[in-house]
């Protein structure tokens, strides 16, 4: 499997790629640099918007704006003007935390998680839901490093991982009307290379997990069985998403910090032979 470096970004913590099918661009972030990126595969241009603090994950909206999870809350961002407008805060009582991973549900809601900026072994992160009316609801407590958020094609299953070294599991939840239930272990990475970082699903309902520190992407069946392993040119892939005109390109971000791989922090792309789904949008 050929993995192409499409942008030698040298990101500190490249994360949260989201494909916009309307503009045919890939949005992604560098959490460490506090920067939002927009990569246009057709031209190779990568435009950067500095945010001045950690920016963790992204939701597309029905219009041209984005919703960004920043260190100090959720914001509406207008790329054309650079305007940033606060929507709501969600962890004012936890100044040691920041947002981390996020994913849109098929129900038009945005699910995102938090973590301590300096994880210390005491779980202080949580899972949240942002509704189109702007309300934020806490769904789950007790996370170290929230990650791996993705929603099944039918919208009925939410995936969530914890990357902490002593946890390193992916869970599945029943998802109905914005509520999660029936938590169960979907995949345990104990004994495998790497830990579960970001994830996505393909059109066939298989879950893709970036195995950070293991230098791999795993394709996992709905039954929790690894059916494919793709070796990456970096040790720390962080998250993947499907994009391209036919949604058959898998884009992968990576972490440059603490990785001595020559391509560490790069944005990469490959064609795995399966397609993804259009990214749902938040009507807010």
Phi, psi of 166 (to 5 degrees): -90, 0
Residue 281 belongs to some domain of the structure: no
Q: Note whether 256 and 14 are within 8 A (CB).
A: yes
**Runs of H (alpha helix) within 44-197:** none
Residue 88 belongs to some domain of the structure: yes
CA separation for the pair 62, 205 (Å, rounded): 24
Residues 6+ apart with CB under 8 A from 36: 27, 29, 48, 49, 51, 55, 58, 66, 68, 77
Residue 64 belongs to some domain of the structure: yes
- Rg from Cα positions in the chain: 17
Confidence (pLDDT) at 92: 86
Residue 28 belongs to some domain of the structure: yes
Residue 284 belongs to some domain of the structure: no
Structural domain count, the chain: 1
Give the residue among 5, 4, 26 at the shortest CA–CA distance from 15. Answer: 26
Residue 60 DSSP one-character state: E
Residue 278 belongs to some domain of the structure: no
Work out whether the CA dihedral 83, 87, 91, 97 comes out positive or negative: negative
Name the CA dihedral angle for 47, 53, 56, 58, rounded to a multiple of 10 degrees: -50
Q: What is the CATH number of the domain that holds 9?
A: 2.120.10.30
Confidence (pLDDT) at 277: 98
Residue 145 DSSP one-character state: B
3-state secondary structure of 132: coil
Confidence (pLDDT) at 1: 83
Residue of 30, 101, 162, 197 marked active site: 197
Q: Look up 197 and say whether it is catalytic.
A: yes
Cα 7 vs. chain centroid, distance in angstroms?
18
Residue 167 belongs to some domain of the structure: yes
In terms of residue numbers, what domain contains 39? Answer: 4-270
Cα 33 vs. chain centroid, distance in angstroms?
17
Cα 221 vs. chain centroid, distance in angstroms?
19
Q: Which two tokens stand for residue 61?
A: 């909206």
Q: How many CB atoms lie within 10 A of CB 283?
A: 12
Residue 62 belongs to some domain of the structure: yes
Cα 255 vs. chain centroid, distance in angstroms?
13
CB contact burial 168-186 (16+ within 10 A = b; e otherwise):
bbbbbbebeeeebeeeeeb
CA separation for the pair 71, 80 (Å, rounded): 22
Kind of pairing, strands 249-254 and 237-243?
antiparallel
Tens digit of each residue's pLDDT, the chain (284 residues) = 899 999 999 999 999 999 999 999 999 999 999 999 999 999 999 999 999 999 999 999 999 999 999 999 999 999 999 999 999 989 888 999 999 999 999 999 999 999 999 999 999 999 999 999 999 999 999 999 999 999 999 999 999 999 999 999 999 999 999 999 999 999 999 999 999 999 999 999 999 999 999 999 999 999 999 999 999 999 999 999 999 999 999 999 999 999 999 999 999 999 999 999 999 999 98
Q: Note whether 266 and 8 are within 8 A (CB).
A: yes
Confidence (pLDDT) at 224: 98
């Amino acid at each position: 499997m050929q993995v192409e470096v499409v942008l030698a970004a040298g990101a500190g913590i490249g994360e949260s790629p989201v494909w916009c099918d309307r503009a045919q661009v890939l949005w992604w972030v560098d959490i460490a640099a506090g920067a939002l990126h927009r990569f246009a595969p057709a031209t190779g241009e990568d435009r950067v918007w500095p945010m001045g603090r950690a920016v963790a994950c992204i939701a597309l909206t029905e219009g041209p704006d984005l919703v960004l999870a920043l260190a100090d809350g959720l914001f509406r961002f207008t790329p054309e003007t650079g305007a940033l407008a606060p929507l709501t805060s969600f962890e004012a009582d936890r100044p040691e935390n920041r947002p981390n991973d996020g994913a849109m549900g098929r129900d038009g809601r945005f699910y995102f998680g938090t973590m301590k900026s300096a994880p210390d072994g005491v779980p202080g992160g949580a899972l949240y839901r942002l509704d189109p009316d702007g309300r934020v609801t806490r769904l789950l407590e007790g996370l170290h490093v929230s990650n791996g958020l993705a929603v099944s094609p039918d919208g009925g299953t939410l995936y969530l991982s914890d990357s902490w070294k002593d946890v390193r599991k992916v869970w599945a939840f029943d998802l109905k009307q914005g509520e999660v239930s029936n938590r169960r272990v979907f995949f345990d990475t104990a004994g495998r290379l790497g830990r579960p970082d970001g994830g996505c699903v393909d059109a066939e309902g298989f879950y893709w997990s970036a195995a950070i520190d293991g230098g791999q992407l795993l394709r996992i069946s709905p039954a929790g069985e690894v059916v494919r392993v793709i070796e990456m040119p970096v040790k720390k892939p962080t998250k993947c998403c499907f994009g391209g005109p036919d949604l058959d390109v898998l884009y992968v971000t990576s972490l440059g910090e603490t990785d001595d791989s020559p391509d560490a922090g790069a944005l990469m792309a490959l064609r795995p032979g399966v397609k993804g789904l259009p990214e749902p949008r938040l009507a807010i």
